[in-house]
Chain A
Amino acid sequence: MSVETRRNLGTVRLPAGFNGLLPALVLIVLFFVVPVLALLLRSVTEPEPGLQNYAALLGDGTYARVFFNTFLVASVVTIVTVLVAFPVAWMLAIMPSALASVVFGVIILSMWTNLLTRTYAWMVLLQRTGVINRTLIAAGVIDQPLPLINNLTGVTIGMVYIMLPFMILPLVGTLRAIDPMTLRAAALCGASPFQAFRRILVPLSLPGVAAGGLMVFVMSLGYFVTPALLGGTSNMMLAEMIAQMIQSLLNWGLGSAAAFILLVVTMALYALQLRLVGARRMSGGL
């Protein structure tokens, strides 16, 4: 360790008990940093040294479409998740605590159920001969089955359902921290309920929305099972493409390059988020 970094560390002030964190740090370096570097190396050395893998990925229409799909799905999923999670989180925040812990239990329990099982359950519900379409047809609402699966709709429904807890939990934390008196004060000053919501509640809840939104967006970027099962081939996302390159085509150079691009984009988003919201407010939100 050079003198300079030593001084830097000094100004940051190592938290008490830093030595206790060392094993974790060693673990992260050994099992995360080193493999990531190996991945980067592979992406510029296989099949031969050079940047041809990156050129192939960025210059090809198919790959561009997969990148676009990935961001489209992640964005749509994040927006819908925020819209669905907000009322749930607000309800949890103002509920009597005994009832709230029961609802929390239900939400957490859904996270413990196997992901594949839950995704298959959606297949049964959403397919053309599935529960939803059959019910609607029997009720005379529609006469042709709605296309709910093998498209963006299916992917969005399946992923929002899986992502909801990751949005609700940080949001409840933020919403609970808001002093209810601020809303009462707004009402006393003549604000309509909607104005109070838009001008008081929404701005104050933003750190929670940002924290949860980022988590959902980043997790969605790397999602594999749900898009593969509920989406169509034209909804292919990056993770599925990478798996294909690594597992069946054995094109590790190209797969590594794609994985590295995904990693860089994710990191960049995270950095942006830190700047916009501020690290302290974000961790406060969590």
Chain B
Amino acid sequence: MKQIITGILAGLLATTLLATTAAKAADMVFTSWGGTTQEAQTKSWAEPFTAASGIKVMQDGPTDYGKLKAMVDSGSVNWDVVDVEMDFAIKAAKDGLLEPIDFTAVPKADLDPRFTTDHAVGSFYYSFVLAWNKGAVSGEPAGWADMFDLKKFPGKRTFYKWSAPGVIEIALLADGVPADKLYPLDLDRAFKKLDTIKSDIVWWGGGAESQQLIASGEATFGQLWNGRVFALEKDGADVGVSWNQNLTAADVLVVPKGAKNKDTAMKFLAAASSPAGQAKFAESSGYAPINTKAKAEMPADAVKSLPDAHVDGQINLDMNYWAANRDTIAARWYAWQAK
């Protein structure tokens, strides 16, 4: 019996030691959503940062809000910088899950104020655009209202599956709500509008899925992240895109409360949000820089494909409204979807 217990203890001890050495091998941990986005973040931010400072950055992922909360609650925070959606960041800051940003270490002057808060620095910003498969759609959709016109544009249309800023606003815009009267969102009206095309909606849960749906013609058109359309175009897919009333939203970088390498994390944020870091990332991802000086460091043709080139009629999704109403909207959203 004694031997057994000793054995178990020895085992546990060995595991703990292993875990500690593994963590020691890196100086900080960066967590994002994986895929092409995180690859671009590694290349544009982490690698130059390590080269310049000697600080090793370990990549982890995907971002998981449940995990982040569990880490903070248990006081064992393994992530130092996390890429999250902006409405989540505002809510998480209110719930006490985030460290305030140390703006003496992170230069704030050139950061786009739309995507900077006390607890978050912009990661990149993007637009929801209307994209279509040229071979599958008859004619050229001109705006969100066309996504609700089953006569003119029959076939499946694809929207973002999760409760997040975007689809509700699109439904309201299509129903004739003026852009400056969107908020507070009229949920009844939005769901009524969405009901008219519900059986023709295919939902996409992740960026790769949205690309697959449009490229294969499984959905003839849909609401996509501009970076994913950019990647499709680069791959030579026959897609059309309308920037009419494109809707901006952002990912931001946050530091979880109690992060072990907080000071290092702030240095990383400074590098990631710098003009050079932002320019490099924007060039490889097609998402827009949150540093206003970044565009000057980018090639002219890369700048042309950014949401910044389509500010005419551009609408900023209201992250503060969403942060405050995230849970109530989500409850109605999923109930409506399940019906």
Residues of A within 8 A of B (CB): 19, 22-23, 26, 61-62, 65-66, 69, 127-129, 150, 228, 232-234, 236, 241, 244, 246-252
Contact: B65 with A247, CB < 8 Å?
yes
Least Cβ–Cβ distance between A50 and chain B, in angstroms = 19
Q: Which of B7, B216, B330, B337 contacts A249 (CB 8 A)?
A: B330
List the B side residues contacting A249 at CB < 8 Å: 326-327, 330
Q: Encode B153-182 as 1/0 by CB contact (under 8 A) with A.
A: 000100001110000000000000000000
List the B side residues contacting A26 at CB < 8 Å: 8
CA distance A150 to B1 in the complex (A): 54
Contact: A129 with B217, CB < 8 Å?
yes
CA distance A23 to B10 in the complex (A): 12
CA distance A62 to B334 in the complex (A): 8
Contact: A22 with B1, CB < 8 Å?
yes
* A-B pairs, 10 with minimum CB distance: A233-B337, A62-B335, A247-B66, A246-B66, A129-B218, A127-B218, A129-B216, A129-B217, A236-B338, A62-B338
List the B side residues contacting A251 at CB < 8 Å: 327
19 A/B residue pairs, CB under 8 Å, sorted by A: A22-B1, A23-B4, A26-B8, A62-B338, A69-B338, A128-B156, A129-B217, A129-B218, A228-B205, A232-B203, A233-B337, A234-B339, A236-B334, A236-B338, A247-B64, A247-B67, A248-B66, A249-B326, A249-B330
Closest to A127 in B: B218
Q: Encode B301-339 as 1/0 by CB contact (under 8 A) with A.
A: 000000000000000000000000011001000110111
Among B33-81, those with CB < 8 Å from A are 64-67, 69
Chain A interface, >50% SS class = helix
Contact: A250 with B66, CB < 8 Å?
yes
Number of B residues near A (Cβ < 8 Å) is: 28
List the A side residues contacting B67 at CB < 8 Å: 247
Contact: B4 with A19, CB < 8 Å?
yes
Least Cβ–Cβ distance between B123 and chain A, in angstroms = 18
Q: Does B190 contact A (CB under 8 A)?
A: no
